[in-house]
Amino acid sequence: MTNNCQLQYLMILLDGAAPSFCYYDAVTHGKGIMGLETLKHGIEFATKHSLGITAIYGTEILPEEHRQLLNAVPHVKIVPYREGAFFTDNSLVVLDAVQDASFPHRLLEREITHLVVTIDLQDALRLYTFIENNYRFFRRISVVFKGLEQADENMLNDFRLALQKLHPLLLNILWREKFTETGFATDRMMLHEMNNCNAGVTHLSLAPDGNFYICPGFYHDNSPPIGSLDNGIHIKNRQLYEFSHAPVCKRCDCYQCKRCVYLNKRTTLELNTPSHAQCVVSHHERNLSGILLDKLQNRGIMVNYPKIPPLFYLDPIDI
């Protein structure tokens, strides 16, 4: 392993067809489930370098030998939502709102610790019905707004209006019911510095082909690997993945922004430079958090948290 002293965990993509839990689109490469030997060597690699393991499961049931290997080591699970399935507390459960035919009227059956919903940016308002019906069944919901590559000013403004309409529902849940973490609306309240994805810095991904990638998005995008189990990890221009080399982001206080390097590369061709759409969406989220926090503090809740001051811009590049 070369120049990776900051690595904290390894993401293992157990199935090449596993649904996306982030901005990328999952494209089947025909690799199917990761081979048993590859999985074994991946776990050995993580153990040798004191890395935590996050396993990304697909919809296909893993063979018994794979399950035994994984059960022998502590790991976080990223699993697709399945009706009737039981999810452990260490599972991030992914619900694809585009593929789920019953969304937003889907009714969860039992409590989920951390639910991740992937949804098209232009469908953000559909979250109202889903959250209203299900907020008692999750402790945290993270929402990935996809389709930023095609977002124009009209779509971004519609997103702002959607957040405005979600505002009273979220305020009522946070105030009258319980503090349910709603990533895009509450994360910024509790952060005092950037808390981004950090792919390429704190974590890397191992794909079914036995190669390492910055994240699953680069694998599905057919980007060149950054190494393999046989030859180790070698990242070119590694500093470009680090926050210290992100000049636009260093001037921003949207601490909840994922600062996705995969999306950066897709939209600006630069790893360390986000697109206009990314910044605008993150600032709309920030503004929503500021309004909600202000109203909660007026009701005596979260009074010790620093206020989120309003801004006169939506994209740091403007200043």
User: 4 falls in which pLDDT band (50, 70, 90)?
Assistant: low
Q: How confident is the model at residue 286 (pLDDT cuts 50, 70, 90)?
A: very high
Look at residue 26 in the predicted model and tell me its pLDDT. Answer: 87
Query: Which pLDDT belongs to residue 319?
Result: 77
Lowest mean pLDDT among 48-52, 118-122, 248-252: 248-252
Q: Could you tell me the pLDDT band of residue 30, with boundaries at 50, 70 and 90?
A: low
Say whether pLDDT at 294 is over 60: yes
Q: Which pLDDT value is given to residue 52?
A: 97
Q: Total structural domains in the chain?
A: 1
Confidence of residue 172 (pLDDT cuts 50, 70, 90): very high
In the predicted model, is pLDDT for residue 167 greater than 90?
yes
pLDDT tens string 70-82: 999 999 999 999 9
Is the pLDDT higher at 156 or at 317?
156
Q: Is residue 77 part of a domain?
A: yes
The verdict on residue 135 lying in a domain is yes
Q: What is the mean pLDDT of residues 19-42?
A: 88
Question: What is the structure's pLDDT at 219?
Answer: 95
pLDDT the model gives residue 5: 64
For residue 2, pLDDT over 60 is answered with no
Mean pLDDT score, 34-60: 96
Q: Which residue has the higher pLDDT, 318 or 91?
A: 91
Question: What pLDDT is stored for residue 197 in this prediction?
Answer: 94
Does residue 211 sit within a domain?
no
* 153 belongs to a structural domain: yes
Mean pLDDT of the chain: 93
Is residue 28's pLDDT more than 70? no
Query: 45-49, 97-101, 109-113 — which one is most confidently predicted on average?
Result: 45-49
- Average pLDDT of the residues in 189-205: 95
Whether 249 maps to a domain, the answer reads no
What's the 3-state SS for the chain? CCCCCCCCEEEEECECCCCCCCCCCCCCCCCCECCHHHHHHHHHHHHHCCCEEEEECCCCCCCHHHHHHHHCCCCEEEEECCCCCCCCCCEEEEEECCCCCCCCCCCCCCCEEEEEEEEEHHHHHHHHHHHHHHHHHEEEEEEEEECHHHCCHHHHHHHHHHHHHHHHHHHHHHHHHCCCEEHHHHHHHHCCCCCCCCECCCEEEECCCCEEECCHHHHHCCCCCCEECCCEECCCCHHHHCHHHCCCHHHCCCCCCCCCHHHHHHHHCCCCCCCHHHHHHHHHHHHHHHHHHHHHHHCCCCCCCCCCCCCCCCCHHHC
Q: Which domain holds residue 169?
A: 9-195
Residue 209 maps to a domain: no
More confident residue, 38 or 32: 38
- Residue 238 is assigned to a structural domain of this protein: no
- pLDDT for position 42: 97
Whether 88 is in a domain gets the answer yes
